[in-house]
Structure 1
Amino acid sequence: MTEKTDFNPLLHLDGRIDYAALRPEHVAPAVEHWTKALEEVLNHATDPATPATWEAVVAPLDAAVGHLGRAWGAVGHLQSVVDTPELRDAYNAGLPVVTELFLRLSQNEALFAKYKAIRESDAFASLPPVRQRILEREIRDFRLSGAELPEEPRARVKAIGEKLSMLSQKFSENLLDATNAYELVLPDAGRLKGIPEDTLALYRASAQSAGKDGYRITLQYPSYLPLMKYCEDRDLRETVYKAFSTRAAEFDGGKFDNTPLIREILELRSEEAKLLGFPNYGELSLAVKMASSGDEVLAFLRDLAKHAKPAAERDMAELRAFAKDELGLAELCAWDQAWASEKLREARYSYSDAEVKRYFTEPTVFAGLFGLVETLYGIKIEEAEASVWHPDVKFFVVKRNGETIAEFYADLYAREGKRSGAWMDSDRSREMTAAGLVTPIAYLVCNFAPGVNGAPATLTHDEVTTLFHEFGHTLHHILTAQTEHAVSGINGVEWDAVELPSQFMETFCWEREVVRGLTRHVETGEPLPDELFEKMLAAKNFESGMACVRQVEFALFDMILHTSFDPEKDDVQKTIEAVRQEVAVSFPPAYNRFPQSFSHIFAGGYAAGYYSYKWAEVLSADAYGAFEETGVTNPETGRRFLTEILERGSSRDAMENFVAFRGRRPTPNALLRQSGLLTDNEAAR
């Protein structure tokens, strides 16, 4: 039997993509094929002879955009999780081609005219409401892309968009390369006192995989965070902290320095906003979000800081006093904070994260997570076989009444060549096509430490919460009931509402009946003892004030950068320092270069939108209140959340979804109460 050497998985999109067969050399032919197909459909759609109807213009264009989007999305996904020089080159070669076409599509005057003609036609009133909504939003997006501008500024907006896509990609590459470039190999465990055995095993395995003896520490989170939290050697903590906090900055001789990219990104965003008639990029970004203005966002964040900062100051005062009196640290430095906090938690609540971690074994966590959502939403999740991009990747099908309604991949472990963090992304959206109903497929990505020596992976409670968060996004995408691609799943959901289902899921990680189903001790098989869970509950809001102002710091910095900041004369580092003076209680050393690794806003979708995490926390905490009132695993409440929020996608405004579920508009009281920043009596007022 001869091997199929000409098979290109990116040209076969009817079913699942054959990821195991996908090679960098497949990228260019696929980009050429799908861009050409889209060009042909665009030419037909904009032909004067083509009638201005949904069937003649919108439907075929959506299908063609969907094919290119799925193929290119798969390439981008692989570049995030199994980056190689060859794949990166293929991605960077295709990026300007795809970006240019999508920008040209968004500014096409003839296509814009067709959409407006459809809206103004007699047939518009007979279209289903969801299609009317899609057309209205498309027309809005044409305007926000510069389609109504004169030729010269329209061309400049397009050029800016192309340049920004390249700069964001380079920012991401620099951060990944800077992270991967660092390693610290220790010949023995003499300097690693305090670090749990499972992390020591990870360090040994990392050294072996790199062909070295001893213990290898990297800047990947599963390696970095345990060292900062548990290592008794203060000098070692400082060394690794400095390496981590100066990534992708000027200290490496400029090899991976993101500093010039940040300035250019901000300059281009500011210019783009002004060309489109907005005073700044923040207002342009908010044109498609729930929040109405930058001033509203800034007021929201500062109000949160007002509630949280007094608690944060108390948290920090207690930590400094404990560090001085009990740990012998006259000065609490940035590289001491996580270690001292863990020591204080152990002293105050008589347990450690390392102890808790032994109970959260990955197979049990997944079984408990699946059991919870199966109860709430009437579904069944089963592991299945599929072609995957790495041996660690798992694949699952989601069924209702025995019928497959969705699928998802789970890529859980950190490795070199994989972007840090955790996220969900779409492989395919639910939609009705000429060939029938297409079911959704999602990517669920985390960066946990794998199990070693045959033992299952164990997760910290924070990591369990991260998993629940990303699975909330996954459910939002795969449990949609919509059949129009533009409003299906997470597509088109306001950015400051898209975190609602994810942060909502986090709250279950603090429910006793749920947590019992997530735990089985890695050695004894016993569930988490009630006594230990009570200690965790008592510590739930440990340093919550500091955690809140930290998020407010990031969000304020982001919004100021995109509203009042002048890229031509203001300094980014001085700006983050000024924000810290306003809201923070913890101040890093002068060499800290947080902005250079803030990929959410410089290489992700959160520019002038990082506030979304806190904004959506208000929504999610209030929504969870409905479950607290009826029983947190009440299937009836779960079905209402499913039908009014998860299934709706963006077929109606997020606020309408919330009000339909909760019966009223949201209030911040539930969030403040859950975070320990508001008493029950204050919350009831």
Structure 2
Amino acid sequence: MNTALNALNSNNVLNSNPLLNVAGLPVFKAFHVEHIEPAVQQLLTDNRAQIAHIVALSDAPTWQNFIEPLEVLDNHFERVWGPVGHLDAVNNSDDWHKAYTTCLELVTAYHSEVGQNAGLYAKFKALADSAEFTHYSLAQKKVIQNALRNFKLSGIALQPAQQLEYQRIKQQLSQLSSAFGNHVLKSTQAWSKSILDPVELAGLPSSALGLLAQLAQQKGQEGWCVTLDFPSYLAVMTHADNRALRAQVYQAFVTRASECAENTEFDNTAHIAQIRALRHELALLLDFANYAEYSLATKMAGNTQTVLGFLRDLAKRSKPQAQAELANLQTFAKTHLGLDTLQPWDVTYASEKLKTQTLSLSQEVLRPYFPVEAVLKGLFSITQTLFDVRIVAKTGASTWHEDVQFFELFNANNQLIGQFYLDLYARQNKRGGAWMDSAITRWRHPNGQLQSPVAYLVCNFTPPIGSDQACLTHDEVTTLFHEFGHGIHHLFTEMEHLDISGINGVPWDAVELPSQFMENFCWEREGLDLISSHVETQQPLPEELFLALKQSRGFQSAMAMLRQVEFSLVDFELHAFYDPNAVESLESLIGRIRAEVAVLQPPAFSRTLHSFSHIFAGGYAAGYFSYKWAEVLSADAFGLFEETGVLNPDTGARFKNSILAAGGSVDPMVLFKAFRGREPHIDALLRHSGIAA
């Protein structure tokens, strides 16, 4: 094994035989940009050689001589390529991204080759048709069935010329998606505003002022610095009395990566047009009417009518209440804030003032009750109570930044279940948003060794100011619980086959079930007593604030629902109704859907799609509806905890064994009915959202 590949592999102990197990965790300090390309080239060369060897075997395919060697290769691939992509997101640099992009082209070509390898497909098909198949477990059968489906979605049935076209399209799409995400990051970093006069920042709480002062210090500036990183942006939009400042920051944020940005170098307009066209070409090539149908081939929702009907039903149920919420906000803004016309850059500010007046509640009132250490202690306590595990901090693990923490999970028998990295804070050269990703997947090696799973949990919270402990807003707390829900889905799996282990093989519109399920504990007295501890008094959230928080869950909830429905419809129709001969402009599409479902119209310069990485640089294309689809499942699932006890260990064990342990081995609706005893009802979602049924 060459030096470069060793440098990228766990503890530099990878044996030269790529069919042997990779042991240990990545040593991030050993990752150097010059290693990436030679290491990836060596990885792909080795894998190709092994695949050729497997295909050439004359023996009839069996699980042992066919599936197991392929799993070894897939695991080898994840262990080398995964950290490269991860570091591109959390520790981005121009040199690293350039090397990553170069290798992405190689990796995309490799995946296309594997997906169109007739020899592999023939062996999978022979295995599925064999007498041996009838004796396989449900999990084993699912691995093979998923593989056959994925071969078809990779163009295995296409003629050679069409297969080359498929490869070309996939190659271009992967490069465009990477470029899109990088443009969002670069455009976000390109804008900042230095402020020397504290009067301009009137209204901002001390925590926000401290953040902006720290950002200025990091840039070598005096005073305060406003950036478009979310903690900075949200602080201004929520608290700044200076309306002109709010308007300026709002415009900079919603025009990121567009032709309307101050710096148009990172304009994503052309990328969006190309991505739309190429996705449609891909769908047609594979005999789908549009990309939305292609997307639904691996999701729970059966067809486009089902998705559109679901979203429009939510809009219909929510819009009357949303109109009333907006009217109330407009009246309040005019009467109490002197804002005759409520503009989009006033909405967050006015809403916070209204919430403070009506509920005596604000994110800043709540923040001191959620110091990071207390929240983590409470989150781990809830997890331990529900799922009978133990979570322990581990020192000495290699990380990519000094703020990153590392934890281990043990079961009741003190056996290691899994591990996870926790990267909480926003910083320069880190992609915005929050996510969970797989570092290592649970898997049983052919030699019998069980590989325990490892997860990356990444957020972009307000960092600590100076030596003070970071305190989170309640919104940030729910985001942490959300990503941790993804984490336990990955870590609590009991599957031992890579393709269905953890979140692998789980339909995208069911992936959000565990994550949104975990959010519920942030709203319940039993959960809040564990995660809240005032940073000075160590007292839990008092009853009056709890009641206000509980009531606030329905505060402007219909407006929030319509916002998500709007995003979901724009995403879905963008792909479902694309006509290459008469392409509907983004402005027309968005305007049409907003006229139908939205109650508040943004300004003409708004270009939020240009930074919509979920659908143009992530896995949610024609699938953003998954958040709402899965929220129906998660709300109804939590309903059983409301009936039996919020921290009931028996119900927790049932959820773990029914939903989390199964990974992608069973249809999620079957798993849900096994847990709940029936099909899901939408009532719980509407009740939790404070929307009248």
Deviation string 1:166-211 (CA, Å, 9 cap, x unpaired) is 0000000000000001110101322111111011011111111111
1:372 is the counterpart of 2:379: no
Q: Is the CA contact 1:362–1:457 (under 8 Å) kept in the aligned structure 2?
A: yes
Matching residue of 1:517: 530
1:580 maps to 594
**Contact persistence 1:449–1:457 (CA under 8 A):** yes
Q: Which residue of 1 aligns with 2:631?
A: 617
C-alpha distance in 2 between matches for 1:134 and 1:503: 27
Shift of 1:28: 1.5
- 8 A Cα contact 1:359 1:458, kept in partner: yes
Matched, 1:171 2:180: yes
Deviations 1:425-484 (A, max 9, x none): 000111100340000000000000111121111111111000000000000000111111
Partner in structure 1 of residue 17 of structure 2 = none
For structure 1, which segment, 424-433 or 59-68, has the greater mean C-alpha deviation from structure 2 after superposition? 59-68
2:684 corresponds to: 670
1:294 aligned partner, one-letter code: T
1:390 to 385, 398, 401: 401
Matches of 2:673 and 2:263, distance apart in 1: 53
* Range with greater deviation from structure 2 (124-133 or 610-619): 124-133
* 2:217 alignment partner, one of 185, 194, 208: 208
Secondary structure at the residue paired with 1:574?
A: helix
Return 5+ residue gaps in structure 2 as ranges. Answer: 15-21
Kindly report which structure 2 residues correspond to 1:213-228, keeping only aligned pairs within 5 A, or say none: 213-228=222-237
Deviation per residue, 1:308-365 (Å, 9 max, x gap): 1111101100001111111100110010000000011011111221111111100000
**Structure 1 counterpart of 2:443, from 427, 431, 436:** 431
Tell me the distance in 1 between the aligned counterparts of 2:450 and 2:461.
35
**Residues 44 and 50 of structure 1 are in contact (CA less than 8 Å); yes or no, is this contact kept in structure 2?**
no
**1:247 deviation in Å?**
0.4
Counterparts of residues 21-60 of structure 1 (less than 5 Å): 21-47=30-56, 49-60=58-69
Letter in 2 for 1:184: K
The separation in 1 between residues aligned to 2:607 and 2:328, in whole angstroms, is 27
AA partner of residue 391 (structure 1): E
Moved more, 518-527 or 232-241: 518-527
Change (3 A) 1:5 1:657: closer
Q: Indicate whether 1:317 and 2:336 are aligned.
A: no
2:562 pairs, out of 522, 546, 549, with: 549
- Which secondary structure state, in structure 2, belongs to the residue aligned with residue 562 of structure 1? helix
In structure 2, what is the Cα distance between the partners aligned to 1:359 and 1:310? Answer: 35
Q: Is the 8 A contact 2:5 2:40 kept in 1?
A: no
Q: Does 1:355 align with 2:365?
A: yes
Residue in structure 2 matched with residue 595 of structure 1 by the alignment: 609
Distance in 1 (CA, whole Å) between partners of 2:353 and 2:692 is: 26
User: Partner residue of 1:417?
Assistant: 429
Q: Deviations over 1:73-121 (max 9, x none)?
A: 1110110000011211210111100110011101111111111011112
8 Å contact kept, 1:187–1:213 = yes
Give the residue type in structure 1 aligned to 2:359.
Answer: Y
**Partner residue of 1:652?**
666
Cα deviation, 1:558-593, whole Å, max 9, x if unaligned, reads 110011132552101221111111100111110000
Q: Pick closer, same or farther for the CA change 1:7–1:142 going to 2, 3 Å.
A: closer
Deviation (angstroms), 1:524 = 2.4
What is the number of residues matched between the two proteins?
A: 676
Aligned residues of 1:34 and 1:64 also touching (Cα < 8 A): no
SS in 2 for 1:409: strand
Question: Contact 1:573–1:595 at 8 Å: present in 2 too?
Answer: no
Q: Structure 1 residues 420 and 567 mapped into 2: Cα distance closer, same or farther (>3 Å)?
A: farther
Residue of structure 2 aligned with 1:266, choices 273, 276, 287: 276
SS in 1 for 2:391: strand
Alpha-carbon contact 2:78-2:440 (below 8 Å) kept: no
- Measured after TM superposition, the shift of residue 637 of structure 1 is 0.4
Q: Distance in 1 between matches of 2:508 and 2:361?
A: 38
Q: In the aligned structure 1, how far is the partner of 2:361 from the partner of 2:689?
A: 20
Structure 1 window deviating more from structure 2 (464-473 vs 244-253): it is 244-253
Q: CA deviation at 1:289?
A: 0.5
- 5+ long unaligned stretches in structure 1: 680-685
Q: Under a length normalisation based on structure 1, what TM-score does the superposition of the two structures give?
A: 0.97
**Aligned equivalent of 2:106, options 93, 97, 101:** 97
Alpha-carbon distance between aligned partners in 1 of 2:587 and 2:402, rounded to the nearest angstrom: 41
Distance 2:565 2:34 in 1: 44
The secondary structure found in structure 1 opposite 2:145 is: helix
The residue that corresponds to 2:19 in the other structure is none
1:253 Cα shift? 5.8
Q: Which residue type is aligned with residue 107 of structure 1?
A: Q
Contact 1:109 1:148 in 2 (8 A): no
Q: 1:6 Cα shift?
A: 9.7
Per-residue CA shift, 1:194-238, capped at 9, x if unaligned? 111011011111111111111011000010001100000000000
Q: Is the 8 A contact 1:382 1:398 kept in 2?
A: yes
RMSD: 1.3
Higher mean alpha-carbon deviation, 603-612 vs 119-128, is at 119-128
Show the counterpart of 2:201.
192
Q: Which deviates the most, 318-327 or 7-16?
A: 7-16
Paired amino acid for 1:430: R
Three-state SS of the structure 2 residue aligned to 1:427 is strand
1:532 aligns with 2:531: no
- Contact 1:38/1:61, CA 8 A, preserved across alignment: no
Is the counterpart of residue 485 in structure 1 residue 498 in structure 2? yes
> Secondary structure, in 3 states, of the residue corresponding to 1:250?
coil
Worse-matched range after superposition: 396-405 or 50-59: 50-59
Deviations 1:35-72 (A, max 9, x none): 11210111012215253222222211121122112211
Distance in structure 2 (CA, Å) of the matches to 1:611 and 1:88: 30
8 Å Cα contact 1:309-1:549 kept in structure 2: yes
Q: Is the CA contact (8 Å cut-off) linking 2:641 and 2:647 kept in structure 1?
A: yes
Aligned with 2:499: secondary structure? Answer: helix
Task: Provide the secondary structure at the position in 2 that maps to 1:399.
Answer: strand
Counterpart-to-counterpart distance in 1, 2:363 and 2:145: 50
- 2:479 aligns with 466
- The 1-side partners of 2:65 and 2:526 are apart by 53
The aligned residue for residue 168 of structure 2 is 159
